Amino acid sequence: MPDEKKKVKAGTVAVPCPKCTKRINLPLRQITEKGVSFPCPDCKTKLKVRRNGQKVTVSVIKSADADILIEEEPTQEIIQKTPAWIVTFADLATLLLTFFVLMLSFANMDVVKFKELVGSVQERYGVTFHESGSYQAVSKGQIAEMDSNVKNISAKAAREQLVNVIYDTIVRQGFRGKVALTSTDEGVRMRVNGRALFEPGTATLIPESLRLLDDIVTIMKETKNLFLEIEGHTDNVPVRTKKFPSNWELSVARASSTLEHMVAKGAPKERLSAAGFADTKPLFSNKKKEVRLLNRRVEFLFKRKR
């Protein structure tokens, strides 16, 4: 009957009585496969309802004393399905929520711009936003810290690139074993054994050293904003000559001699400097002769201007 087709609450099923067609609402959880028996409220006919999957079966019991079924009505769906579009809508809402959470986690919240955005959405679509909690703008100190981190990463990458250039230009060109490269926060430091550059006890460059220095000049010419500090070092064996009264004079003279040759070859002198440290910065102990000789060296510190 048309007037009997009424909507029922979720979680219930409307069971029709086969005798009087009265529709009886029963909770789904009470209906099992074994069935549940009850009398019709109107005609008092004893009914038995069974559940099989998503169907129910309504039967009439012949007598009150025996469960003898004599009639069975067509089955009906007992679970009221949610509309199909709800599933798609829920998926879309979840994806949008995930997207905005990720955006917020990677972005810096600007309170002023956020409130302007909220106002424009409210004005255009009539949507009301309820603010809860508080938003914290990024401070200048945080921005400076992030900028510093980016600069540090860039500086490290620049140093690694410079190491590769020096290695390809100098070390591979016949100076392997005579040159050592290290990268530090200061810049790229290249150590050259003193015997590869000078005669013992002098500040005179040997012919074999000129090609190495010329390669350094090439790097200085081709690399902008690159500064070079030339350092002369000795071991602790005293030097007592008329020209070099002490190790200080010898270390300074070697650094200066190196600088003068590079300037003569076209290196930008405004980006070069020289200093002598005598035996104040040894790499190894001066007690053993075998390693003491390694303290006699010239170091080239390549630094980029920030």
> Which residues is 50 bridged to in the sheet?
57
Amino acid at 6: K
What pLDDT score does 60 carry?
Answer: 76
Give the Cβ contact number of residue 264 at 10 Å. Answer: 11
CB half-sphere exposure, 246, CA atoms < 13 A: 6
Residue with tokens 């350092």: 231
Amino acid at 49: V
| CB proximity list for 171: less than 8 A, separation 6 or greater | 179, 181
- Dig out the tokens for 188 from the structure: 């790229």
CA–CA gap between residue 115 and residue 36 (Å, rounded): 60
Closest by CA position to 276, among listed 257, 303, 302: 257
Whole-Å CA distances, 133 to 12, 47, 211, 283: 42, 58, 68, 59
What pLDDT score does 162 carry?
Answer: 84
Backbone dihedral region of 62: left (phi > 0), alpha (psi from -120 to 50 degrees) or beta? alpha
Kindly report the backbone phi and psi dihedral angles of residue 119, in degrees, each rounded to the nearest multiple of 5, phi listed first: -65, -40
CA–CA gap between residue 184 and residue 159 (Å, rounded): 8
CA–CA gap between residue 193 and residue 259 (Å, rounded): 16
Q: What is the pLDDT along the chain (306 residues), one digit of tens a residue?
A: 444 444 445 567 777 887 787 777 777 777 777 777 778 888 877 877 887 766 777 777 765 444 434 444 444 444 445 567 888 888 899 999 888 888 777 665 555 555 556 566 555 555 554 555 544 444 445 445 544 544 555 777 888 888 888 888 777 666 777 788 888 888 899 999 988 899 888 999 999 889 999 999 999 998 888 999 999 999 999 988 889 999 999 999 999 999 999 999 999 999 999 999 999 999 998 888 888 888 999 999 999 876
Residue with tokens 């879309």: 92
| DSSP 8-state code for residue 269 | G
Amino acid at 134: S
Give the Cβ contact number of residue 101 at 10 Å. Answer: 10
3-state secondary structure of 190: strand
What pLDDT score does 111 carry?
Answer: 52
pTM over 0.95: no
What pLDDT score does 235 carry?
Answer: 92
**3-22 per-position pLDDT tens digit:** 444 444 556 777 788 778 77
- Quickly name the fold that domain 156-304 has: 60s Ribosomal Protein L30; Chain: A; (3.30.1330)
Closest by CA position to 292, among listed 232, 245, 233, 207: 233
Beta strands in 6-74 (DSSP E): 12-16, 23-27, 36-39, 46-52, 55-63, 66-72
